Amino acid sequence: MPNNKRNGNNGGPPVATLVLIAAIFFIAIVFGNRLMNLLFSAGQEEVTYNTFLTAVAENKIKDAEISDTQISYRLRTEENEKRSKLYYTNRLPDVDLTEVTQTLQKNGVEFSAAPVDDGSSSMLFSWIILPLIFFFGLMLLMRIITNRSGGGGGGFGGIGGIGKSRAKVYMEKETGVTFRDVAGQDEAKESLVEIIDFLHNPKKYTAIGAKLPKGALLVGSPGTGKTLLAKAVAGEAHVPFFSISGSDFVEMFVGVGASRVRDLFKEASKVAPAIIFIDEIDAIGRSRDSRFGGNDEREQTLNQLLAEIDGFDSSNGVVILAATNRPEILDKALLRAGRFDRRIIVDRPNLEGRYQTLLVHTRNIHLAEDVDLKKLAQATAGAVGADLANLVNEAALRAVRMGRRAVNQQDLLVSFETVIAGTEKKGTVLTDIEKRIVSYHEVGHALVAAMKKHSQPVSKITIVPHTSGALGYTMQMPEEEKFLNSKEELIIELQTLLGGRAAEQVVFGIQTTGAANDIQRATELARKMVTQYGMSEKIGLMALATAQNEYLDGKAYMDCAQTTADDADHEVRALLNACYEDAKKLLREKRELLDEIALYLLEKETITGDDLMKFVNADANCLPAGEEATEE
């Protein structure tokens, strides 16, 4: 089992340090005024009020200062005037000093009124000056103690471990993860095998003069398994594994991040060969740009990271792995040759990859005999490893709720639907007219898809509301995985998306809010066809939009003149209108079939794709568009 204990004092400032700092401020506030009085009263002597009056009467006073609460004076009898002692007495309340001041004036004594003390100097000393003196004195003391004990690390590194690395260290050389636990990423694993081999047999490479790449950057969408791959590399190599997130370097204190970088590389070098893994490196590796102001702490941390990567020799067996889903914002200096030499793409798994991933996640799950993981892999196109792990876990939880000891195929399919559409809202009651509209809307989608050639087969239609906000949905399951789509296939997809609104218009002559998501998806697809795929005759082969954040939302931003953008909008509108009219035309021609399937769905609430095709095949005149009847 891996040892997940943190290395040293890497949990930030301990409670004892925070309590000590709070105690310093408390002492300064409570005893500050007393200490200030002691400091400022040094070299003074307090006398009684009678002694002061006697000195006035005997003309012994040289000069005096009178305030609301105190009288300070010096005597003529002092031999050295510069060092003459200062005497003070507390002024008695409600005592008229008119006679005293007249006597002082008569004797030629210089006297004045002291300035009114509003307490600001005392407050400044108690709240600011004194705490700072204590705090920096404590820093100096802790640094001396740390240096004498061999701790090193100047700055904040010696105080409560603030500058220490926060990396999780698997010092038993086992992360508990190997390549056996990673599926669907064969290409990425092949790229990392060489690193493992180098850590095992470095002399084989150094003998020929080869050097191991200092760093490898894992790039991919969230949930594809970048962190899992890094742990698998450490597990296969059987070396210490230092794991830290990019955000763990940055603190409110300037210089702490750089100190943690130094400490991390220092600790890794001590136990080399070792692997350093920095997750979400874009937190500190963002491109340095001063146009809109910079972050000194983050940039200082990045500079230190660049210096550390340059400073160590890869032949000692320290390898740096990093992961990000935003490679386009990383600093160019971080990606240059000699630092992160390799970029390893951790992509979404294909059909076979999803099947292998499902095998991994169901390894410890009791499965029923009817489970077909290949069919589930086929249905989950675009899913990443984290999605599939969540799907399997949801299926296991459902099996327990249903009182079964094994997960069957229905559990997996229902869990898949739960992930994409949410759970059924059994308490939601639709009116009769609403249920009719939803039924025709969903059958409109399904019928357009069933009547068109090259469309994805419909697997399920339901009008049961779900927690995702959908009052119903039509699920299509591809027969095979495709990586290219023709313009004709995309137009059929647009017609299918707009088939729901078309059915509402053809049957009821109304437009409802239920088509909002369909219109949004159709508009996004049509805009890509016009601005990115070059499928518009008017725009031609001109890219008008640039996709950013490829591994996150992948949204495209227009990069063209305003007039060209207006032309693109007109093309998108024309394409959508044409597909909408085609969908309405098809549904008008098949109105009887539309009514028949919609009434059946209204009765059953949920039907399968096979039920749909029974109605379609029973229609003598129903042939997919573009096909002609053939005799057998």
Active-site residue set? 442
Cα-Cα end-to-end distance for the chain: 66
| Residues ≥6 apart with Cβ < 8 Å to 406 | 366, 367, 368, 399
Helix axes 516-531, 487-497, angle to 10 degrees: 160
Q: Which residues of 305-334 are buried (b: 16+ CB within 10 A; e: fewer)?
A: bbebbeebebeebbbbbbbbbbbeebbebb
| Contact by Cβ (8 Å): 232, 275 | no
Burial category of 60 from C-beta neighbours within 10 Å (exposed 0-12, middle 13-18, buried 19 and up): middle
Q: Are strands 44-46 and 86-90 parallel, antiparallel or unpaired?
A: parallel
Which residues face 545 on adjacent strands?
558
DSSP letter for each residue of 552-604: TT--EEE-S-HHHHHHHHHHHHHHHHHHHHHHHHHHHHTHHHHHHHHHHHHHH
Sign of the CA dihedral running 596, 600, 606, 612:
negative
Could you tell me which of 227, 234, 228 has the C-alpha nearest to residue 173? 234
What is the spatial distance between Cα 484 and Cα 489, in angstroms, rounded to a whole number?
A: 10
Please name the helix (run of DSSP H) or strand (run of DSSP E) that holds residue 65, with its range, or none.
strand 61-66
125: helix, strand or coil: helix
Helix axes 130-148, 15-40, angle to 10 degrees: 130
| Contact by Cβ (8 Å): 385, 224 | yes
Q: Which residue has the tokens 């059946």?
A: 600
What is the spatial distance between Cα 118 and Cα 461, in angstroms, rounded to a whole number?
A: 80
Q: Are strands 215-219 and 318-324 parallel, antiparallel or unpaired?
A: parallel
The pairs formed by 403-406 with CB atoms below 8 angstroms and a separation of 24 or more are 404/368, 405/366, 406/366, 406/367, 406/368
The pairs formed by 37-45 with CB atoms below 8 angstroms and a separation of 24 or more are 41/88, 43/85, 43/86, 44/72, 44/85, 44/86, 44/87, 44/88, 45/85, 45/86, 45/87, 45/88
Listed in sequence order, the DSSP H helices in 470-556 are 487-497, 499-507, 516-531
